[in-house]
Every structure is written in C-alpha cells, then in structure tokens.
Amino acid sequence: MKKLMYVLGVVLFGVIITAFTLSAATLQSTAAGPFEDVVSAIKQGDASALSRYLDNTVEISMAGKSNSYSKAQAEIILKDFFSKNQVKSFELIHQVESAGGSRVGIANVGTTGGAYRTSFFLQKKGGSMVLNELRFENK
C-alpha cells in the first residue's frame, strides 16, 4: 500500500510539473504581439513577416534617403534590402510604449552589407498595430 501511495504521489507530482510547464509556455507564446513579431522579422531579415504589419503607407529611410511607399512597394524594397544585407546580429537597445499604445524600437543591426542603427514605429490603427515608419541608418 505504501508503494502504491508513493507511485501515485510521484505521478501526481509529474502531472503538476507538466501542467505548470505547459501553462508557462502558453503564457509566453501569447505574450508575443506585433512589436515582438516585428523585432523577430527584422532579426531574421524576413520582409514577408514584416509586411504583415505594414501600414497602407510606410515611411522608409535607407542610405540617407527617405520616402513614403505603398504597402506593396515597401515590401519589395524591404525584400531587396534584406537580400543584399543578410542580418548577422540584432541588439534591441531601446523601446518605448506611449500611453496611446504606440511603440518605438531602436536596434543595432549587423548585416553582411554593414552595420545599421534601425528604428521602427508601430502605431495603433483601428483594433491593430501597424508599422508606419522604418529607418536603416548607416553606423
């Protein structure tokens, strides 16, 4: 009888640990949002993942030139940039969230084509967050 109680205790303990582990993993995965997705997309140099958050009009600044582009144009420009500049390192150095829910991120991004200080601005629009400004400034 003591062995049975011991085995049941060990099994119950294992179930409890597994439940806590799964709930922590679920909380962590649901905590990711548009800002974290944009960070991840830049880290990976993934223009397609980044384009999910592009606003209808996006301000993009590269090599000292700044212009507004449609969402489709911006995706093409970003694909071209990331194909010529594969991301090798990414360090988020600053992030700010405003009371209205807008978020700004500043990162150092190392690529095969050089080092960039990258900033991006997500703004609440309707019920979602959109990326409406992205800057890649040579360091």
| In contact, 74 and 50? CB cutoff 8 Å | no
Residue 132 lies in a domain: yes
65: domain range?
33-138
Residue 5 lies in a domain: no
- Provide the domain count of the chain: 1
pLDDT one-digit tens code per residue, 81-132? 999 999 999 999 999 999 888 999 999 999 999 999 999 999 999 889 999 9
Residue 41 lies in a domain: yes
Q: What is the pTM of this model?
A: 0.76
Distance CA 74, CA 96 (A): 24
Q: In this structure, what DSSP letter does residue 45 have?
A: T
Residue 90 lies in a domain: yes
Task: Return the CATH number at 126.
Answer: 3.10.450.50
- φ, ψ of residue 25 in degrees (nearest 5): -65, -40
Residue 7 lies in a domain: no
